[in-house]
A and B are shown apart, each in its own frame.
Chain A
Amino acid sequence: MKSLQLKNENNSSNNMLELNRGQSLTGTNNKTNCIDNLEMIEAAFIIKEKEGLLENIFNFLPVPLIITRNKNAEIILISAGVETILHINKSEIIGKKINEIIVDNQEYNQLLLQLNLHGKVQNSEIAIRNFHGKSILCLLSIEIIMANEECLHIHSFNNISEIKHLEDAIQNSEDNLRTVFENTEVGYILFNQFQNIVSYNKPASIFAIKEFNKEIHIGTNFSTYFPEIMREYLSNIIAPVLNGETTSFERYILHNGEHHWYYVKFSPVFNKDQLVAGFIMSMENITDRKKNEIELNNSLSLVTEQNKRLLNFSYIVSHNLRSHASNMSSILSFLEKEKSETEKAGLLIHLKKVSNLLNETLYNLNEVVSIQRNLQTTLEKLNLSNYIDQAIEILNKEIIAKNVTVHNNIPNDILINYNPAYLESILLNFLSNSIKYSSPKRVPIINFNMLTKKIQ
């Protein structure tokens, strides 16, 4: 607690000496008393000068200070800083109660309680109101001083409105970033240079459960999520990142029987000195894209295969037609030059044969085209074994003629989803070609077997 002698603005302090240089004190009759009184007067002048000096200093002090009386909270002195912060002249505030500039008096009263208990208040946030009614957030410190046995309070204000405003802006910005961070579909894990987790979002924790079968926690080291045998692999990935390079790859995960694909990227984080301070691992779920890509590839393979088959078919068509056309052309050429009627008759027989073969070829080609066209539209559940039996029955004559043995080993309950005419045609082709192209040196044996293949 300090002791000072001060005058207020109106020079009306009750406990202050009211003296001017050369003024005599009343009630001093003897010399000794006179000398004492003169010394007292001299001392009073010195004090008064110092008080004036102090007041002047106080008046120009840029730090906002307000001195109030404890008993009635009356403002008796303010520094220049107060005029600046409150946009007010000294004359407009001196004599008023400090409560008039405090926004929340309940809060202020609690500070006074604290002041009475501890003798001082340090850096408590409180809002004050300026002349224009604008609220200003300050850090308030209050100290008690004693002046002529009167208790005074020195209020020191530190305007933190700007700082608070900036802090709020930063906080808002951080909140916005956090919102984006939490709501993005891409998972992010932020690591420091020691590969410890600093921060992560929800999609990252979902990824971790799928990838590592455990939850991730802030402060844990990345390597702890990998089995021992994978550590070297991990080091190989992280090493270039810690050297400032970005690395990425696609990761396939099978979790609970479901297929997941992720695009994983490691990006270095640099500090202001451009040194690697950590890295960000981002993981984007690309399962849908990957599935589409696979479907597209499958479609492409299918189209490619169909094109290949179409090309083969065109070669077969070309081959078959060219053979007959070529023969026809040759026969006609000979017919034109041939004089002998016998030879001409022979050539005509050949021409007729070629004509019939051409007709047969065209019919067969037409059948194939027709079946191909209707294949997708007339799919039925067909008993394979029954269809084989039917084909054997149709070709029974040829089978007996060549002494062929045919074994139908297909179970009776096997149904296939296919076009009936096409299946019949395939089976007849199987059988007739097998018989036709069988080795003449051996007794032909034809076995019909089946295997089930899972289509990916």
Chain B
Amino acid sequence: MKETEKICIIDDDEIYIFLMKKSLSAMGINNEVISFINGSDALEALIQLKSNHEELPGIILLDINMPIMDGWEFLTEFRKVNIDTYKKIPIYIVSSSIANEDFEKSKTFPEILDYLSKPVDLETIVSILNF
């Protein structure tokens, strides 16, 4: 992942977003972090980026259980609007859910590279950011 690429976090847990930002900073990862507390806001922002021909994020860390638009709905809508036609964005599920049902469902979305259960340790974050 390039240092210039944005990291997108979609999670309704604002403390988690704060801690992720702090962790990334502590590890010397200074990529810009854009965060959203539901899928709907994130989708809207991504569509906006695409239409403005701005660079899309280099990675999306997506929660499942969120108000207004949850992670699954986001993925469905994300696929519909073809945001990543010119750039494939790797998507990781980062959730506190350990339900097998969620884990199995994640396999039905080819856009998802992996399913990570919270708390995610820093080494895992570094490895998925591919620095």
Contact = CB atoms under 8 A, between A and B. Distances in A.
The answer on A and B forming one complex is yes
Interface stretch (B1-9, B83-91, B95-103, B106-114): B95-103
Contact of B19 (A320, A325, A331): A331
Given A323-B118, A327-B13, A329-B119, A318 B18 contact: no
A436 B97 contact: no
A327 B40 CA distance: 24
Contacts of A323: 13, 16, 96, 118
A337 to B, nearest CB: 8
Contacts of B65: 319
Contacts of A325: 119
Interface string A307-330: 000001001001110110111011
A327 B68 contact: no
A353 interface: yes
A327 B19 contact: yes
A353 B15 contact: yes
A334 B22 contact: yes
A330 B23 contact: yes
Contact of B98 (A322, A354, A440): A322
Nearest to B38: A437
A432 B6 CA distance: 35
B72 to A, nearest CB: 15
Contacts of A342: none
Interface string B29-64: 000000000001000000000000000000000000
Contacts, number: 53
Contacts of A331: 15, 19
A8 B82 CA distance: 133
A291 interface: no
B92 to A, nearest CB: 16
B96 A322 contact: yes
B24 to A, nearest CB: 12
Given A329-B119, A330-B19, A437 B96 contact: no
A310 to B, nearest CB: 13
Interface size bracket, A side? 20 to 34
A328 to B, nearest CB: 9
Contacts of A436: 67
Given A350-B15, A350-B18, A326 B97 contact: no
Contacts of A354: 15
Contacts of A320: 96
Given A330-B19, A350-B18, A318 B96 contact: yes
A334 B23 CA distance: 9
A30 interface: no
Interface in A280-335: 312, 315, 318-320, 322-323, 325-327, 329-331, 334
A322 B99 contact: no
Contact of B96 (A326, A330, A334, A439): A326
Nearest to A438: B68
B104 to A, nearest CB: 13
A318 B118 CA distance: 11
Nearest to A312: B99
A350 B117 CA distance: 21
B65 to A, nearest CB: 7
Contacts of B95: 319
Contacts of B18: 350
B67 A437 contact: yes
A31 to B, nearest CB: 143
Contact of B97 (A315, A334, A437, A439): A315
B38 to A, nearest CB: 9
Contact of B119 (A319, A330, A350, A439): A330
16 contacts: A312-B99, A315-B97, A315-B99, A318-B96, A319-B65, A319-B98, A320-B96, A322-B117, A323-B13, A323-B118, A327-B16, A331-B15, A350-B18, A353-B15, A437-B67, A439-B40
Given A318-B97, A319-B65, A330-B23, 8 more contacts: A315-B97, A315-B98, A319-B96, A319-B98, A322-B96, A329-B119, A337-B26, A354-B15
Interface of B: 13, 15-16, 18-19, 22-23, 26, 40, 65, 67-68, 95-99, 117-119
Q: Which 10 A-B pairs have the closest CB atoms?
A: A326-B119, A322-B96, A315-B99, A323-B96, A330-B19, A319-B96, A437-B67, A326-B118, A327-B15, A319-B97
